[in-house]
Amino acid sequence: MYEHLETAENRDSLKRVVVDPVSRVEGHGKVTLLLDADNKVQQARLHIVEFRGFERFIQGRPYWELPVLVQRLCGICPVSHHLAAAKAIDQLVGIDPENLPVSADKLRRLLHFGQVLQSHALHFFHLSSPDLLFGFESDISKRSVIAVLAEYPDIGVQGVKLRKYGQEVIRMVSGKRIHGTGAIAGGMNKSLTKAERDYLLEDIDQMIAWSAASVALIKKVHCSNLPFYDEFATLRTNYLGLTKPDGALELYHGGIRAKNEHGETIMDHIDYCKYNDYIHEEVRSWTYMKFPYLLSLGQENGWYRVGPLARVNNCDYIDTPLAEAARVEFKAHSGEAMVHSTLAFHWTRLIEVLHCAESIKTLLNDPDIMGSDLVAQGEKRYEGIGVIEAPRGTLFHHYQVDENDIVTKANLIVSTTSNNMAMNESVRQVAAEYLSGRELTEPLLNNLEVAIRAYDPCLSCATHAVGKMPLQLELVDAEGKLIDKLIKHSDGQIERDNA
């Protein structure tokens, strides 16, 4: 491992190289490298430089605003935030997942399959396919979806249309492609009309066919670049995610399962409402993103990966036939109990796209999505926890309210946060193995971004170290001269530095 590259000792004597911003990811982050005189990498870090603060400013708001307000964290996977918050506020009105009306449950699942489909399609086709089709160090003019559309028009157009279809599913269920209002406490505010259902059914077979083709494409890309694709930025880690009670792949609701690098179970079928007994978060001074870890394994060994690779690794099977066949092929390629290749995130992402498309078809043919029993009410509670498998991994929403229905406390563990340690480790590994000692060029630096991109990080969602983050405020005059400097330490102490 490469932990020694997190912090170099003689930092002042080192040359600094910055990749800012990291491109083709959601949100804003940067990578810094510190190099010695021989261009040997001494330090490599992924910094998340956005600050959001949602957990703080939703305090004082009424709880029913949460699904609509908190989804504004993100424009790519707002539905996942919307539904995680909805699951949490279901509990505030006394409704546990098993008591949600059947129609509401199925509509939410349909909504979420649309979400995962569109987000994964966006990530693979728009953001990552240029790297995978043209090579990691290809000319910069090739590294965009425009170049993909020019050279591989079929693949490009299918990607754009797959994403659009997912967006249309979202629009039919929640009224808008982005930031709709479908889920309310205890249910949904509308079901699908027959016209809406028929509209979505028109294209679903095409979507399943294109999804299957995309799985074949990534398999070909991956397997024709072995062993490189199995080794690049690869980490042997723990994996965490939700599964169904029978161990099947699950995106909307299930128990927490974690497995170690050998595929041995660390925990299984854990009620996510008790997540706090199993998962803690660590804050570090140089990034706004926290570092979660499994309490039972400790800070050093307890970090884990989430997202498509974790889910496909963790589950016993997938309950749609084409995706299950793809999963079996995928697992067989490595010959190990768990697939650790970081670039295999792409492969598993597309297996999930196929699973979503198949599941959408099943739900569209289910009359319950046009049902009228949409909302249930129970006894008021003061705490609600909602957990969901967002496209990028397990997403936790945890709220407390007072007797007046006002939010008093909120905690969010966002998917990308769980991959923080892994992304940093992958960056350090790529820096050490592919960059160290070489004359750094722009295409070479793209290797770092390829490693980060594999995780499909959503950096804007993931910056939640509210209140604990050290901050530095500098007052600079027009000539650029430093006039004053205030430093807030992670313990809340404020210091003035007039040096």
Partner 1 sequence: MSKTITIDGKIIPFEDGQTIMDAAMAAGVYIPHLCHQPEFTPHGSCKLCTVNVNGRNCSACTFPAMEGQDVLNETEELIEDRKKITQMLFVEGNHFCPSCEKTGNCQLQAVAYHLNMLDNHFPLFYPDREVDASHAEVMIDHNRCIFCTLCVRASHEKDGKDVFAISGRGIHKHLIVNAKSGLLKDTDIDASDQAVHICPTGALLVKRTGYQVPIGERIYDHKQIDQVALAASGSRPVAALQPSMAVGTENIKHGE
Stretch that binds partner 1, among 66-74, 209-217, 282-290, 356-364 (CB under 8 A): 66-74
Question: Does the N-terminal peptide bond of residue 367 adopt cis geometry, omega within 30 degrees of 0?
Answer: no
Residue 68 interacts with partner 1 (CB under 8 A)?
Answer: yes
Q: How far is the CB of 58 from partner 1 (least distance, A)?
A: 9
Q: What own/partner pairs with CB < 8 Å and gap ≥ 24 does 49-57 have?
A: 49/288, 50/288, 50/459, 50/460, 50/463, 51/288, 51/463, 51/469, 52/460, 52/461, 52/463, 52/464, 53/466, 54/410, 54/412, 54/464, 55/410, 55/411, 55/412, 55/464, 55/466, 56/410, 56/466, 56/467
Among 72, 161, 280, 381, binds partner 1 (CB under 8 A): 72
- CA-CA distance, 128 to 136, in Å (whole number)? 10
| Cα separation, 322 vs 326, whole angstroms | 6
Does 409 sit near partner 1 (CB under 8 A)?
no
Quick check: 405 binds partner 1 (CB under 8 A)?
A: yes
Residue closer to partner 1 by CB (options 191, 234) is: 191
Q: Cβ(371)–Cβ(102) under 8 Å?
A: yes
**Closer by beta carbon to partner 1, 22 or else 74:** 74
- Cα 306 to Cα 378: distance, rounded to the nearest angstrom: 33
Which of the stretches 22-30, 62-70, 126-134, 464-472 binds partner 1 when contact is defined by CB under 8 A?
62-70
Instruction: Tell the smallest beta-carbon distance from residue 169 to partner 1 (Å).
Output: 12
* 299 vs 290: CA distance, rounded Å: 12
Find the DSSP H helices in 296-337.
Answer: 298-301, 308-314, 321-334
Q: Does 196 bind partner 1 (CB under 8 A)?
A: yes
Q: Which of residues 31-60 bind partner 1 (CB under 8 A)?
A: 60
Q: Are strands 304-305 and 238-243 parallel, antiparallel or unpaired?
A: parallel
Q: Please identify, using beta-carbon distances, which residue of 61 and 280 lies nearer to partner 1.
A: 61
Q: Does 410 bind partner 1 (CB under 8 A)?
A: no
Q: Site for partner 1 (CB under 8 A): which residue of 27, 29, 67, 292?
A: 67
Torsion of CA 134, 135, 138, 142, to 10 degrees: 30
Told to check if 381 binds partner 1 by CB under 8 A, we report: no
Closest CB to partner 1 among residues 76, 93: 93
C-beta closer to partner 1: residue 176 or 489: 176
Least separation in angstroms between residue 138's CB and partner 1 is 35
Between residue 160 and residue 189, which ones bind partner 1 under the rule CB under 8 A?
171-172, 174-177, 179-182, 184-185, 189
Nearer to partner 1, 301 or 377 (CB): 377
- Which listed range, 45-53, 130-138, 194-202, 422-430, lies at the site for partner 1 (CB under 8 A)? 194-202
Binding residues for partner 1, rule CB under 8 A, total 31
Cβ-contact 357, 209 below 8 angstroms? no
Nearer to partner 1, 224 or 404 (CB): 404
Using rule CB under 8 A, residue 69 touches partner 1: yes
Which C-beta is closer to partner 1: that of 39 or that of 181?
181
Residue 143's identity, in one-letter code, is R
Name the residue type at position 360: I
Residue type, 9: E
Chain Cα centroid distance, residue 146? 25
CB 343, CB 273: distance < 8 Å: no
CB of 329 to partner 1, least distance (A): 37
101 binding partner 1? (CB under 8 A): no
Q: Quick check: helix, strand or coil at residue 171?
A: helix
The residues binding partner 1 (CB under 8 A) are 60-62, 64-65, 67-69, 72, 93, 171-172, 174-177, 179-182, 184-185, 189-190, 193, 195-196, 199, 404-406
